[in-house]
Structure 1
Amino acid sequence: MAKEFFVKTDVTFGKDAIQEISRILTQFGATNVLVVYDKGVKAVGIADKVVDAIDKDKFNVVEFDGVIPNPTNEVVEAGYAIAKENNIDAFVAVGGGSSMDTAKAINVLTSNGGNIMDYEGIGNVPKPVCPLIAIPTTAGTSSEITNVAALVDTKSVRKYVVIDNKIVADKVIADPEFTRTVPAGVTAATGLDAITHAVESYISNEATYLTKYNSLRGLQIFYENLPKVYENGNDMDAREKMMLGCIVVGFGFSNANLGLVHAIAHTLSAHFGIAHGVANACVLPYVTAFNAEKCPKEMIEMAKAINLPLTGDEEKDKFALANELGRMVKEMGIRPLHEQGREHKITEADFDIIATDALKEGPLHFNPRQDVTKETIIEILRKAF
């Protein structure tokens, strides 16, 4: 059966790549540019480096610094108001996945109007959007090259996605130097997010030879380099490889989709404000073990790809990857679920609503095991607790 493998983004990679930004904006025919970022990116000086690199004689530059982790509809509306007021015709997203997703969503409204939830789901953006340049400062989400914007509806308390090939960034400016200042905890969370993308897309029901190639290579890159960068944030060779790995694995999961880890993580983020990468990491080992019963061959292939010791006994070896992921999560300081939560700590009393809402999540359709129940998710939450 024929499958589509969609790759759109043009990437400029390497040190001082930001110096190309005015040339790129000129090619887009831009006039009024909205630079979208969070206050952390501003604090470490990266936002200023980007803005300073844009030729003010050619472009009117407007800044929006309202991005938050797990961006909400309200944040998107605030950014859209600024874009509309200033007749924005090009966007520059600077930061991690939240900045990219926010910029994509504002861009959708700028060209299409309405409410961002009007475009929830797959392929529901009718009109082409304005040019978007994505400048990642983390290596993990791959949002710079994907067709997804993940957002939170605070009224229904759920995370949802807008998926459309129109919203993919037209250009990526990827300079590994921009990741140098990322703290170890954020490096761990975003790196484990990328590993989650690799694992879930490799075993997805929609996986193909093309997606599996990218997913497996991405897993190898992050497994080798994430521990190095976690220990030494100034290891720029490893930083560069992780940024490249992020693009590679993005090509895999944006075409194959994800699974049960993301279904649970989206719900944890929506209800408790847990950063996306952390939410993934908390449940990744336990979901991987659960899925191993359905796809032992693929689990062993991934274990072999990262040179884990195997016994030759499939019943044991199919859990090698899950066990190793559990070790990595602990080693990188990801706290268990009972210590997570922004507004209040998660308790076992919350498991029912988390499981109920996770069952409504779209990524479940692509999980290799389709026998997922509320009890399944509650048991995974207990193990992660």
Structure 2
Amino acid sequence: MAEKFYVSSDIVFGKDAAKELPGILKEYEAKSVMVVYDSGVKAAGIAEKILEQIEKADVKVTVFDGVIPNPTNEAVEEAAMLARENEIDVFVAVGGGSSIDLTKAVNILMTNPGEIGQYGGMGLVKNQVLPLIAIPTTAGTSSEITNVVALTDTKAVCKYVIIDNKIAANKVIADPEFTKTMPPSVTAATGMDAITHAVESYISNEATALTEYHSLKGLQIFHENLPKVYANGEDMEAREQMMLGCVIAGFGFSNANLGLVHGIAHTLSAHFHLAHGMANAAVLPYVMEYNADSCPEKMVKMAEAIGLSLSGNLQKDQYLLSEELLKLTKQLGIKTLSEQGIENKDFDMLAEDVLKEPVLGFNPKQNITKQDILNILKKAF
């Protein structure tokens, strides 16, 4: 049976990649550019470096620096209003997943009518969007090269996704130097987010030979290099490998989709504003343990790929990956759910909402029950 594999973005990768920005803006004949980033990107001095490059293109510049973690519909509408007022014709998103996702969402509203919430789901964006240049400053979300936007609906108290090939960034400027300012805790959380993408997409029931190749290679890169950059943020070789891994894994999960880990993490973030990577990391080992008997050969293949010692007993080896992921979360100082402020009394409500998450349809083990989710939450507590 024929299989599809979608890749959209042109990528400039490596040190000083940002110097390509003026030429790219001229290529698009940009006249009015919106630059989107958060307070952390500004404090790190990265925003200033990007704005210096944009000035060389002789364009009007509008800045939206009000990005918040887990961006909301309201934040998107606010930024979109500013973009319309300034007749923006090209967007530059600088930062992690929140900045890039918000920019993708704003871009949708520039050429498509109505409110952003109506585009939740797959393939609902009707009109082509404006040029978008994504400049990642973290190595985790892969938002810079995916066709996905994750937003928070504060009224429905849920996190939802927009998936559409039209919304992927046209150009990606990936400079590992921009990740150097991340503190160890952010490096750990975003790195575990990347590992989650690699693992969940590899075992997704939508996975193909093409996606599996990228997911597995991404996992190998992350497993080798994440502990290095956590221990030493100045290790630029490892930083570069992490950013490379995000691009590779992004190719995989944007085509294969994700699963139960993200279903739980979306719900945790919607209700308690947990950082996405930290929420993923807290439950990842236990979801992989839960999924193991539904795809034991793939679990063993991942364990083998990252150099774990196999016994030859499939029933035993299928749990090697989940055990290794638990060790890694402890090594990286990932907080348990209780340490992130979740209480036992929240479990019932969380479990019911997780069952409503669309990404569960891509999970290898189906017929997930409320009790299954409760068991995972208790282990992650």
Q: 1:159 is matched with which residue?
A: 159
- Residue 146 of structure 2 aligns with an amino acid whose one-letter code is T
**1:19 aligned partner:** 19
Offset at residue 312 of structure 1 (A) = 1.1
Aligned residue for 2:61, secondary structure, equals: strand
The alpha carbon displacement at 1:239 in A equals 0.3
Distance 2:60 2:149 in 1: 26
Residue 109 of structure 1 corresponds to 109
User: How many angstroms apart in 1 are the aligned matches of 2:328 and 2:379?
Assistant: 16
Specify the code of the residue in structure 2 equivalent to 1:352. Answer: D
Structure 1 residues 64-99: Cα deviation after superposition (integer angstroms, max 9, x where no partner): 001111000111111111101100011000000001
Report whether the alignment pairs 1:231 with 2:231: yes
Q: Compare 51-60 and 292-301 and name the one that shifted more.
A: 51-60
> 1:95-142, CA deviations, whole angstroms, 9 ceiling, x for partnerless residues?
000011000001001111310011110000001000000000000100
Residue 62 (structure 2) aligns with: 62
Deviation at 1:229, TM superposition (A): 0.1
Give the Cα separation in 1 of the matches to 2:57 and 2:261.
Answer: 47
Q: 1:310-330 CA deviation, whole Å, 9 max, x = no partner?
A: 211111110000000001011
Are residue 365 (structure 1) and residue 347 (structure 2) matched?
Answer: no
For 1:57 and 1:228, locate their aligned partners in 2 and report how far apart those are by CA, in whole Å. 38
Is residue 171 of structure 1 aligned with residue 171 of structure 2?
A: yes
Quote the Cα distance in structure 2 between the aligned partners of 1:25 and 1:352: 50
Question: SS of 1:144's equivalent?
Answer: helix
Computed over aligned residues only, the root mean square deviation of the Cα atoms, in angstroms, reads 0.8
What residue number does 2:346 align with? 350
Give 3-state SS (helix, strand or coil) of 2:144's partner. coil
Structure 2: stretches of 5+ with no match in the other structure: none
Q: Distance in 2 between matches of 1:367 and 1:62?
A: 41
SS in 1 for 2:162: strand
Q: Corresponding residue for 1:267?
A: 267
For each residue in 1:142-164, what CA deviation from the matched residue of structure 2 results, as whole angstroms up to 9, or x when unmatched? Answer: 00000001000001110001111
Q: What are the within-5 Å matches in structure 2 for residues 65-104 of structure 1?
A: 65-104=65-104
Q: Distance in 1 between matches of 2:301 and 2:18?
A: 38
Deviation track 1:37-87 (CA, whole Å, cap 9, x = no partner) reads 000000010011101111356210110001111000111111111101100
**Contact 2:123–2:163 at 8 Å: present in 1 too?**
yes
Return the letter of the residue paired with 2:51: V
2-side partners of 1:300 and 1:14: how far apart?
33
TM-score by length of 2: 0.99
Within 5 Å, which residues of 2 pair with 1:296-335?
A: 296-335=296-335
- Aligned to 2:338, what secondary structure does the other structure show? helix
Correspondence for 2:289: 289
TM-aligned CA deviation for residue 371 of structure 1:
2.2
Report Cα offsets for 1:192-232 as digits up to 9, x if no partner: 00100011000000001100000000000000000000000
Deviates more, 1:322-331 or 1:105-114: 105-114
- 1:18 CA drift (Å): 0.6
* Aligned amino acid, residue 62 of structure 2: V
SS in 2 for 1:92: strand
User: Corresponding residue for 1:194?
Assistant: 194
Q: Secondary structure at the match of 1:338?
A: coil
Q: How does 1:43-62 map to 2 (within 5 A)?
A: 43-55=43-55, 58-62=58-62
Deviation per residue, 1:265-311 (Å, 9 max, x gap): 00000000000000000000000000001100000000000000121
Amino acid at match of 1:230: Y
Maintained 8 Å contact 2:134/2:144: yes
Separation in 1, partners of 2:89, 2:352: 41
Instruction: Give, in angstroms, the shift of residue 353 of structure 1.
Output: 1.1
1:309 aligned counterpart, secondary structure? coil
Indicate the residue corresponding to 1:132 in structure 2: 132
SS in 2 for 1:182: coil
Output the CA distance in 1 between the equivalents of 2:365 and 2:56: 53
Judge conservation of contact 2:26–2:57 (CA < 8 Å) in 1: no
- How far the C-alpha of 1:368 sits from its partner, in A, is 0.4
Opposite residue 360 of structure 1, the aligned amino acid is K
1:278 alignment counterpart: 278
Aligned residues: 381
Which residue type is aligned with residue 236 of structure 1? M
What is the letter of the counterpart of residue 358 of structure 1?
V
Kindly report structure 1 stretches of 4+ aligned residues shifted beyond 3 Å.
Answer: none
* Aligned partners of 2:96 and 2:138 also within 8 Å: yes
Letter in 1 for 2:363: N
What amino acid maps onto 1:302 in structure 2?
M
For 1:232 and 1:57, the matched residues in 2 are separated by 36
Q: 1-side partners of 2:258 and 2:347: how far apart?
A: 22
Larger mean CA deviation between 126-135 and 23-32 belongs to: 23-32
CA distance in 2, matches of 1:12, 1:307: 31
Q: Residue type matched to 2:355 in 1?
A: L
Distance 2:268 2:24 in 1: 38
Q: SS in structure 1 opposite 2:125? A: coil
